[in-house]
Structure 1
Amino acid sequence: MRVFVAGGTGALGRRLVPQFVARGHQVTATTTSAAKLGLLEQLGARGVVMDGLDGMAVGEAVAAARPDAIVHEMTAISGKADMRHPDRTFATTNRLRIEGTDHLLAAAEAAGVPHVVVQSFAQSYGPGTGLLTEEDPLDPGTGAMARRVSAGVLHIQDVVAKAGGTVLRYGGFYGPGASDDVVEFVRKRKFPLVGDGTGWNSWVHLDDAASATVLVVEKQARGVFNIVDDEPAQVRDWLPYLAACAGAKPPMRVPRWLARLLAGEFAVTLMTEGRGFSNARARRELGWEPRYPSWRQGFKEELA
């Protein structure tokens, strides 16, 4: 197949492009920097400089590539995370998830591309118990900041399904290039356990996220898929374990009221609310078998 990967030099794109190439697909991958074209060539792709927020540039790049499928992996999260103002950290990424998604869908329609796959995120703060399946919509909860941070994934949830595309709700990425900042914060004891640490997270290693994405494209699977490992975990379980794997001291404990003063509303929400996600559909319909079915094994092998 001819595959167009928008965002080929990001943390996931660097793992995804080689997997497509290894399975015999012809890959065109984009970057925003001409300096990274050499990297894409090394990964086995034809590199193209493209601004995902420029609708004309997106349309021209897709038309030239004539792909059988488009995979949207464009993000723009760089620098240190600002927990008091996470909406600023995610501002450009949200634009790529809103405007960039719209541009890619329009380009696909114009060029007759039959399949568009779009990156989303497995995080939901609405009420309820049990694991979330693909039938459950993402819910950012009632917090104003969480809703601003989630604007992009909420847009994807709406427009991609209507266009007949595929939404991949990836768990929290870990692995080289994806979790370095978190590990650094933990080692410096700047990542405390807030309250009882009752918020749930679903994780996935970068290579496992990439392998699931390749299967989605090859099988032309449609709809929504939760791309997460087998073991959703509360912060009070995974954070001390990560610290131990990284050779750090156990995280400090901070009450909710103090964390709200120091880091803001979203940090407290992130650490104390949310639900885990089920990967049953991805395993069943894609035949996906993650290399790391549990973050426990993955953290131990990858983050030490």
Structure 2
Amino acid sequence: MRIFVAGGTGVLGRPIVEALVDRGHEVVATSQRPEKFSVIEALGARPELMNGLDEATVRQAIGRAEPEVIVNQMTALSAPSRDYATWLAVTNRLRAEGTRTLMAAAREAGTRRVVAQSASFMTQPSGSGPTDEASPLYLDAPEPIRSHVQANTAAETLVLETPGIDGVVLRYGFFYGEGTAVGPDGEWATGVRSGAVPIVGEGTGQYPFVHVRDAVAATVTAVDRGSPGIYNIVDDEPAPQAEWLPYLADILHAPAPGRVSEAEAEEQIGVQAVYYGTQLRAASNAKAKAELGWTLEYPSWREGFRELFG
């Protein structure tokens, strides 16, 4: 099968390319940096130069590849920023503008299926129990959360409603593993080691984590399995901030995390710190398990964290 991976050198893109090649697929993977081509070639794929916000390069790359399936993993999240809105700005454009161009090019190229990245942590904070793929999204959230939710929603609509293409949206949880923010050299782990990541309020926000390897397995499975639609790709055990932060600190032999009030968190970090730390609801992975036949190597972040940092 000819598969086109948009964003083939990122934390998730690179192992996806490797896994698809290992399965015997003919893979074309993109980067907007020519110096990354050797990475793609070493994985056994063919590199293509593509800027997801440049319509001409998107149409040219997809037109040359004529892929049966496109896996869209384009983001701009690798470089951390202290300003949340600035950090998300290019990714928001890639979701909305980039996806529009990609889906149009996919239709022109005769692509039959598109598997695209989204996020599971953007649901309304009201309600009880785990959310699922039909739960209301936080479309009226305060900025900068609102812009990110709206960009993801726009991308999801394009993927699911483009005529002639089976669209699959994977709403990933918070990644952890090598190369991620929650990895040995990642921003979160570094912050926990230094005592700079506090628990917000009561720390009741239920983080949906997923190990990179499990996210890759779900993505590769979705290439040729599962009905079109949305799937939460999260592990089995929601992680309250008041539990996972001290747990990680203990593994890292770091100081116990401090606490800040919601008002202090909003002033010092931003409204997203309050949403994630106190309001985020758990997400269910039941649909992905049932319809994709997805099984997790790391059902719980507890065992995953311990293996990763142990």
Shared fold, TM over 0.5: yes
Cα pair 1:123 1:138 within 8 Å, conserved? no
Cα pair 1:115 1:220 within 8 Å, conserved? no
CA distance in 1, matches of 2:135, 2:246: 30
Cα offset, 1:105, TM superposition? 0.3
SS in 2 for 1:219: coil
Q: Which amino acid is the alignment partner of residue 272 of structure 2?
A: F
Q: Deviations over 1:70-99 (max 9, x none)?
A: 0100001133332xx311100001111111
TM-score, normalised to structure 1, is 0.95
Q: How does 1:1-304 map to 2 (within 5 A)?
A: 1-82=1-82, 85-126=83-124, 127-163=126-162, 164-179=166-181, 180-219=186-225, 221-304=227-310
SS in 2 for 1:62: helix
CA distance in 2, matches of 1:218, 1:198: 37
CA distance in 2, matches of 1:298, 1:67: 35
SS in 2 for 1:56: helix
SS in 1 for 2:71: strand
Cα pair 1:173 1:205 within 8 Å, conserved? yes
CA distance in 2, matches of 1:300, 1:81: 27
Q: Percent identity?
A: 44
CA distance in 1, matches of 2:281, 2:140: 11
TM-score, normalised to structure 2, is 0.94
CA distance in 1, matches of 2:217, 2:120: 17
Question: Which has the higher mean CA deviation after the structures are superposed, 252-261 or 36-45?
Answer: 252-261
SS in 2 for 1:178: coil
Query: Any unmatched runs of 5+ in structure 2?
Result: none
Q: Deviations over 1:149-198 (max 9, x none)?
A: 32321212322221241110001001111121110111111111111011
CA distance in 1, matches of 2:272, 2:230: 26
Q: Deviations over 1:30-74 (max 9, x none)?
A: 011000000011111111111011112111111111111001000
Cα pair 1:125 1:273 within 8 Å, conserved? no
Q: Which amino acid is the alignment partner of residue 54 of structure 1?
A: D
Q: Deviations over 1:232-286 (max 9, x none)?
A: 1211111111112222121111112222221222222221111111111111111
Q: Which amino acid is the alignment partner of residue 42 of structure 1?
A: A
CA distance in 2, matches of 1:103, 1:295: 36
CA distance in 2, matches of 1:220, 1:6: 21
Cα offset, 1:141, TM superposition? 4.8
SS in 2 for 1:189: coil
Q: Which amino acid is the alignment partner of residue 16 of structure 2?
A: L
CA distance in 2, matches of 1:95, 1:295: 31
Question: Which has the higher mean CA deviation after the structures are superposed, 195-204 or 263-272?
Answer: 263-272
Cα pair 1:16 1:214 within 8 Å, conserved? yes
CA distance in 1, matches of 2:158, 2:233: 19
SS in 1 for 2:282: coil
CA RMSD in angstroms comes to: 1.4
Q: Which amino acid is the alignment partner of residue 210 of structure 1?
A: V
CA distance in 2, matches of 1:56, 1:194: 45
SS in 1 for 2:3: strand
Cα pair 1:69 1:217 within 8 Å, conserved? yes
CA distance in 2, matches of 1:197, 1:140: 23
SS in 2 for 1:70: strand
